[in-house]
Amino acid sequence: MLKAIYPGSFDPVTNGHLDVIKRSAKIVDELIVGVLNNNAKSPLFSVEERVNMLKEVTKDINNVRIVPFAGLLIEFAKEQGAALVIRGLRAITDFEYELQMSQTNHKLDPSIETMFLTTSIEYSYLSSTTVKEIAVFGGDVSQFVPEIVAVQLEQKMKLKGECDKHE
Ligand code: PNS
C-alpha cells in the first residue's frame, strides 16, 4: 500500500493545491495532507480553520485524510507510516527551496523519498500569498480558490478590518 504525505501551510488552500491533491490521490493508495501548525509563520488562518477548509474541499476524495502536524516533516511521515512526500513545483523559482528541502529530508531519513508534481499550467502563477494580497485589497479571489475559501477569506478580511479600526 503506497501512502504519501502532501505537506504545506495551506494558508489558505488554493485551486493549485487542490489540483495537486486530486492528481496525487490518483497515484497513491492513501494521501495524507499534512497541515503545518507553526505560529512562527503567523498564518492568517488558524490550523483548525485550515484543516476544516481542506476537509471540506476534499470531502469527495475517498483516499485523502487531512492531518495537522508540528515539528519535522520526516518525523510526521514516519508517524503516519508514509514513505513518500509529494510537493508541487511551479516555476523555476520554487526549485532551489524544494531541492534544499528534499535533500535535507533525504539526509535526515534516506528511506523517505520526495516526488514532485509540476503544477498544471493554469495554476503555475498561483500562491496563497498572492491570494491573500488580493483579498486584503478587496479583490475578487473566486477564480483562484474554492468557493468556501473565498467566503472565509472575505469574512476574515472584514473581521481584520473591524479589529484594525479599534486599534
Ligand atoms: O506550503 P509551504 O509553506 O511551502 O510548506 C512548507 C513545509 C510545511 C513543507 C515545510 O516548511 C516543512 O516541511 N516544515 C516542517 C519542518 C521541517 O521538517 N523542516 C526540515 C525540512 S528543510
Residue 23: predicted pLDDT: 98
Strands (E), the chain: 3-8, 30-36, 64-69, 84-89, 113-118
Q: What is the pTM of this model?
A: 0.95
Backbone angles phi, psi at 143, to 5 degrees: -85, -5
Residues in the chain where the model's pLDDT stays below 50: none
> Which residue's C-alpha comes closest to atom 21 of ligand 1?
101
Residue 93: predicted pLDDT: 84
Q: Confirm or reject: Cβ of 5 under 6 Å from ligand 1.
A: no
What's the gap in Å between 116 CA and the centre of ligand 1?
14
Strands (E), 90-158: 113-118
Provide the 8-state DSSP code for 93: G
What's the gap in Å between 10 CA and the centre of ligand 1?
11
- State which amino acid sits at residue 70: A
Q: Confirm or reject: Cβ of 89 under 6 Å from ligand 1.
A: no
Burial 64-94 (b: 16+ CB within 10 A, else e): bebeebeeebbebbeebebebbbbbbbeeeb
